[in-house]
Amino acid sequence: MITVLIIFEAYSKPTRLRKASVNRKDEYSVWIVPRGTEGDGDIDDLLAREGIPVLERVTQQKAEQCAEDIRRKFTRAGLEMKKELLCND
């Protein structure tokens, strides 16, 4: 199972000089997760270990188009695919 993951970026990324804060923009990221997102554990840890970033901080429409394109291509190649939507809370 491969998952195309769309993440709503509810928080900005922390930096050395700044903590994460509420993101006022409507931004999404797209990831490919080779083994899926089932099971225990934090999604951030899973993405750091196994996630493949595709797009970062784009509109919802662009994220949805990208995720659907990826899902269609992997399905055509005979792989089982699913699409999920999460929030980086």
- Express each pLDDT in 23-82 by its tens digit: 888 899 999 999 878 776 788 888 889 999 999 999 999 999 999 999 999 999 999 999
The string of DSSP codes covering 7-53 is EE--BPPP-SS----B--S--EEEEEETT-S-SSS-HHHHHHHH-EE
Length of the chain equals 89
Which pLDDT score, from 0 to 100, does residue 35 have?
81
Which pLDDT score, from 0 to 100, does residue 40 have?
65
What are the domain boundaries of the chain?
2-12+24-87
Helix, coil or strand: residue 57: strand
